[in-house]
Amino acid sequence: MSLTIEQPKTGFDVKKVRADFPILRETVRGKPLVYLDNAATSQKPRQVIDAISRYYEHDNANVHRGVHMLSERATRDYEESRIRIARYINAADSHEVIFTRGTTEGINLVTQAFARQRLNPGDEILISHMEHHSNIVPWQMVCEERNALLRVIPIDDRGALDLDAIEKLLNPRTKMLAIVHVSNSLGTINPIKEMIRKAHKAGIPVLIDGAQALPHMRVDVQDLDADFYAFSGHKMFGPTGIGVLYGKTSWLEDMPPWQGGGDMIRSVSFEGTTYNQLPYKFEAGTPNIADSIGLGAAVNYLEALDMDSVARHERDLLEYGTQLLSATPGVRLVGTAPEKASVLSFTLDGIHPHDAGTVLDQEGIAVRTGHHCTQPIMDRFGIPATIRASLAFYNTREELDTLARGIRRVQEMFG
């Protein structure tokens, strides 16, 4: 089924953008690839792929250690990526950008180097019901170690936070608020600026899981007044295995290192060690140089886009996809909050999501099926899993039409 709706004038040239992504020209099982699994990982533009190849072909050397030309070039490009990323998120200084393996490592760094030393028995950490496992399990671990409590902000039937509950849950025992910016399984966009304001009014620091936000919107960490903001390169059209933890200088300087090794030291003796300055205090060992450079290239790519037209295009895709699925008998949308990013999670009556995903793959359609590392959300809605079509700016209405046809094919097979 295709809705007869006039193509919108969003000002976004999706054909031109798609030409930058080589993988979008792939065929899958003899069908043109329809890639709708962007919340799991996004595809990479040629500019990112070339930046990584260029490093390995021309500049491959370790950083911060060598006096030879290759090391100097590698160090220059590595640190220029840090500066670009700091500028992109409007950090006050590039030393507030800590390179990590991804959002998960950034959150673990904060739990171990920041929260652990501040938690006493009976203290509380506040998270929400819509968190990814990466923003649940590390807090459970540190709470168990310190005999602290994990408290949870509930969500309503639309998948939106119960904002009234936040006021009641914040109390003198709360030592941290850790909240997702955009839900990976529901698409809900949380009002984090207001939540940060409420927490700071009570003297509570805040960590934001921004993994799903950076692919869809510009984030200004100073405007948000976030204490910590973690995100992953591979979600925002950059390489896997690289991410960023942003932290305010005052907090980072007060935190002990999380890991020990090379480059995080000033001097070492058997009597003791003096630690390096920011950001290197938190970057032990040889870093992921190539992918750090690749992430810098991804940021350059995003900076060149008109994010207002990107937002209009993605909003149109979300609205169009929501109409398509809502008009399909037997489809139940999961996550209908009024403020959403481009995520369409749904179930099909009488059909297991894994079976649906397998059939859709036969049609060349890549979606994600399962609990999406958010099992508490599945429990909240009384379902084992969903089918998730997650969109990026290179997706099109035509691809959503293909998804709708694929769903009907699934229903025919199992109906």
Do residues 315 and 200 both lie within one domain?
A: no
| Domains in the chain, number | 2
**Could you list the residue range(s) of the whole structural domain that residue 313 is in?**
14-32+306-414
pLDDT value of residue 1: 46
- List the catalytic residue out of 373, 376, 378, 381: 373
Any domain includes 7? no
**Could you tell me if 340 and 189 are in contact, meaning their C-beta atoms sit under 8 angstroms apart?**
yes
Q: Is 143 a catalytic residue?
A: no
Q: Which pLDDT value is given to residue 262?
A: 79
Shared domain check, 68 and 197: yes
CA 160 to chain centre: 18
- According to the model, what pLDDT value does residue 275 have? 82
Domain boundary residue among 272, 303, 334?
303
Domain limit, last residue, from 303, 336, 361: 303
Q: Is residue 232 located within the same domain as residue 319?
A: no
pLDDT at 43: 98
So what's the pLDDT on residue 261? 82
Burial string for 213-235 (b: 16+ CB within 10 Å, else e) reads bbbbbbbebeebebbbbbbbbbb
Q: Does residue 2 belong to any structural domain of this protein?
A: no
Q: What is the pLDDT of residue 9?
A: 62
This prediction has a pTM of 0.95
pLDDT computed for residue 101 by the predictor: 96
> Do residues 200 and 174 share a domain?
yes
177: region left, alpha or beta (phi > 0 left; psi from -120 to 50 alpha) = beta
Q: In the chain, which residues have pLDDT < 70?
A: 1-10
Considering the domain boundaries, does residue 240 fall inside one?
yes
Decide if 397 contacts 7 (C-beta within 8 A): yes
Q: What is the CATH number of the domain that holds 368?
A: 3.90.1150.10
The pLDDT of residue 269 is 78
Q: Is residue 1 part of a domain?
A: no
CATH (domain of 280): 3.40.640.10
